[in-house]
Amino acid sequence: MSNFQAAVMAGALRFAFGLPGPVRRLIAGAPIRLDGQDLHPEAQLLLRLQQLTGTEWRTRTASESRLDLELSSKLVSGPKITGVGSRDLTIGEFAGRIYTPRLLAPGSPLLIFYHGGGWVTGSLESHDNLCRFLAREAGIRVLAADYRLAPEAPFPAAADDAAEVLRYAVAKADDLGIDPRRIALGGDSAGGNLAAVTAHGAEIDLSFLLLFYPGVDASVRRRSREIFGNGFFLTDEKMDWFLDQYTPGGKDRHDPRLSIMLAEDLSNLPPTYIATAGYDPLRDEGEAFAERLAADGVPVVLRRHEGLFHGFANVLGVGGIFREAVSEAVGALRTGFALANSAQEVEETA
């Protein structure tokens, strides 16, 4: 698919979402209800349109899967969000990108955001608009990193690179225009995994942890994976395939640098916001992680978006429910930084 074709299909998606409600429902099909919750009509329409146009994210080779995700992201992420500048960086052996809202003064907070994609797919481009949205709406700088991907670079390469990004941000704070005492980590799916793993091993105090439907425990299969393992974007087959690429032969799946849920002590993690999707195979995993953090004394807020599916954070260009869910997370991030600032001021005046 060319960029022109992708643009045409993106326009068609936006047109479909602008149709009258009864017409959208006719296209989407009969309402779906599973596990005591309704699939949101906008989520159901998007899934149906992806099926009709053949743009579902398929599991094939690594290169083909990467292309599938890039094209899928172009279709749903929407026009480039304005009001945010960006600058490409080199971080070790991989690329990075810093996003800065207009009129933002030096010394601002920083969110380091790790993109999802099963440690195999995803890139700076696939999550570009999400990072722009987070930067603009939260009024902060966002640093994204294009860490090494499996199977070319299997576990723990991505975890090592994620930690390197944090060290880079602290070392280059002046160049990046950020306050190294006010850094949050975030990510979606596999990126949420990397954010949590990096926070656990961090040598500095972090302000906040922002996790969208994170993968945190590769050692067990939970109930939501059985219920929502087919037909809702992320499938059971894809999850197995991603893990096989990142940890060939099943080795290392109990290592806390992959299954952070299995770490002996998580009490060093900063205040955390976890957003899960009701129709996500990873739902129960993320929610169990929230319970574990609370048990270890970490301030945590869990928000389940019942009618949505895995990957909703990237769907900023169609429908309203997806953007609303990300906006809610932005509010939590802003609150997290505000509380961290207050605690820092108290400490400085003590």
CA distance 139 to 124: 20
pLDDT for residue 181: 95
**For a pLDDT cut of 90, what percent of the chain falls above it?**
77
Tell me the pairing of strands 94-101 and 84-91.
antiparallel
- Rounded CA separation 115/84 (Å): 18
pLDDT band at residue 349 under the 50/70/90 scheme: low
Q: How confident is the model at residue 280 (pLDDT cuts 50, 70, 90)?
A: very high
Torsion of the alpha carbons at 306, 308, 313 and 315, rounded to the nearest 10? -150
Name which of 109-113, 115-119, 126-130, 232-236 the model is least confident about.
232-236
Q: How far is CA 21 from CA 28, 63, 202, 232, 241, in A?
A: 10, 38, 48, 21, 37
Q: Per the structure block, which two tokens stand in for 284?
A: 């129960």
Residue 97 scores a pLDDT above 80: yes
Length of the chain: 350
Q: Locate 192 and state its tokens.
A: 């949420």
- Cα–Cα distances in Å, from 76 out to 50, 129, 337? 10, 10, 29
Weakest-pLDDT range from 245-249, 272-276, 297-301: 245-249
Q: What is the mean pLDDT of residues 172-184?
A: 96
Are 105 and 159 spatial neighbours (Cβ–Cβ below 8 Å)? no
pLDDT at 8 over 70: no
pLDDT tens across 113-125, in order? 999 999 999 999 9
Confidence band for 258, pLDDT divided at 50, 70 and 90: very high
Distance, CA of 190 to CA of 335 (rounded, Å): 24
What confidence score (pLDDT) does residue 58 get?
64
Q: Active-site residues: which are they? A: 189, 280, 310
Residue 267 token pair: 């009490």
**CB-hemisphere CA count at 13 Å for 153?**
14
Closest to 144 measured CA to CA, from 96, 107, 105, 103: 96
Q: How far is CA 37 from CA 8, 41, 63, 145, in A?
A: 33, 12, 36, 36
Arithmetic mean of pLDDT over the chain: 92
**pLDDT of residue 326 exceeding 90:** yes
Q: Give the separation between CA 280 and CA 302, rounded to whole angstroms.
A: 15
